[in-house]
Amino acid sequence: MIQFLDLKSVNARYKTELLQACERVIDSGWYIMGKELSSFENEFAQYCGTKYCVGVANGLDALTLVLRAWMELGKLKSGDEVIVPANTYIASILAISENGLIPILAEPDANTLNLKPANIEKLVTPKTKAILPVHLYGKICPMDEITAIARKHNLLVLEDCAQAHGSMLAGKKAGAWGDAAGFSFYPGKNLGALGDAGAITTNCDELYSVLTALRNYGSHKKYENDFVGQNSRLDELQAAFLRVKLKHLDEETELRRNIARIYNRDIINNLIEKPFEGESQEHVYHLYVIQTKFRDELQLYLEERGVSTLIHYPIPPNLQKCYQGMFNECKLTEEISCNILSLPISPVMPLDEVEKVCQLVNDFKV
């Protein structure tokens, strides 16, 4: 069976280093908010090219806490509108509605599947206060145009970088374009912990200050609470693991990009549309997503021949039960959700398996 993502093999490559990191934490006697976290925060901020990084418990909290902090700072208030892609993972939307803000769903560009600047402009109203672009599948959105729209209408920009660690546009990394960004280090992400973890990046001093309190009961100083905060911390053990894995992120991204290059070159079947990589864009291929009118047939065909594939995502947020009646119809997003299929890709996928997938996909007919 060709696995979609062999996580055991991903981490096995670093087992010695991970065990050393684990031992370092055990022996330190300090397990929450210590040296491993502050070192990781410095290293990750430097990697992204931002002034600050704040470690939190997961990617959803990273997004939720930024919006929450902007509310504390008076930059957002309950009922404000936040424009977000309609075809994203549910967490991007949950972060907005969780704060009493209103998600406004924007249809994507049919080719790139990322936010389309013209579709954002159409949705801006006097109540719009922020844009939440998602760098879906690892490809950065057209952030130059999106930040220009934000400046023009005085909107905040919160990047969802959960799938885009290290992705670049014009030499600038995901996480460094917006007023703030949320990252997830869920085990299957490009930079994955061995459990839940997340982080926020920003250049803003006052946002940084509020966030460091919000993640820790709303407190800067023990037993003094400035905000009604929560407990959303990135623990020392996961921070230590992430420091090991961050050192290898760029080489892993190269392995992903190499597989994508082979798929791009060798998949030739006119029933199938390959992903689009724009000029001066460094796609980090968290997922390699193809489109075909015969998606269900292709998925079954590959399954029967030993290739596991996944769909990201089969039910768009506007059709989810939890948001029933909340959103407009999103025709394009609904159509895309029936056409997309994610092929296996990971830093540990053997190249003969990649070739096998190409061969099978090329032989697919209806």
Ligand X SMILES: *Cc1c(COP(=O)(O)O)cnc(C)c1O
Q: Single out the residue of 50, 87, 128, 184 in contact with ligand X (rule: CB under 6 A).
A: 184
* Residue closest to ligand X, measured at CB: 59
In terms of CB distance, is 184 or 202 closer to ligand X?
184
Residue 216 β-bridge partners: 231
User: What is the C-alpha separation between 57 and 41, in angstroms, rounded?
Assistant: 13
Nearest to 345 by CA among 188, 198, 192: 188
- Amino acid identity of residue 221, one-letter, is K
CB of 360 to ligand X, least distance (A): 27
Q: Single out the residue of 91, 141, 307, 345 in contact with ligand X (rule: CB under 6 A).
A: 91
Regarding 60 and contact with ligand X (CB under 6 A), the answer is yes
CB of 184 to ligand X, least distance (A): 3
Regarding 134 and contact with ligand X (CB under 6 A), the answer is yes
Regarding 232 and contact with ligand X (CB under 6 A), the answer is no
Interface characters, 185-204, with ligand X (x: CB under 6 A): -x---------x-x------
In terms of CB distance, is 59 or 344 closer to ligand X?
59
DSSP state of 331: H
Interface with ligand X by CB under 6 A: which range of 29-37, 57-65, 300-308, 350-358? 57-65
Regarding 235 and contact with ligand X (CB under 6 A), the answer is no
| Per-residue exposure over 106-134, b if at least 16 CB sit within 10 Å of its own CB, e if not | bbbbeebbbbbbebbeeebeeebbbbbbb
Nearest to 165 by CA among 85, 240, 62: 62
Task: For residue 105, give the H/E element and its range.
Answer: strand 102-106
Residue 154, class by beta-carbon neighbours within 10 Å (0-12 exposed, 13-18 middle, 19+ buried)? exposed
DSSP state of 273: B
Q: Where in 139-178 is the site for ligand X (CB under 6 A)? A: 160, 162-163
How big is the site for ligand X, counted in residues (CB under 6 A)? Answer: 15
Q: How many CA atoms lie within 13 A of 216 on its CB side?
A: 18
Q: Do the bridges between strand 172-173 and strand 168-169 make them parallel or antiparallel, or are there none, so unpaired?
A: antiparallel
CB of 162 to ligand X, least distance (A): 3
Regarding 59 and contact with ligand X (CB under 6 A), the answer is yes
Regarding 50 and contact with ligand X (CB under 6 A), the answer is no
Regarding 236 and contact with ligand X (CB under 6 A), the answer is no
List interacting residues with ligand X (CB under 6 A).
58-60, 88-89, 91-92, 134, 160, 162-163, 184, 186, 196, 198
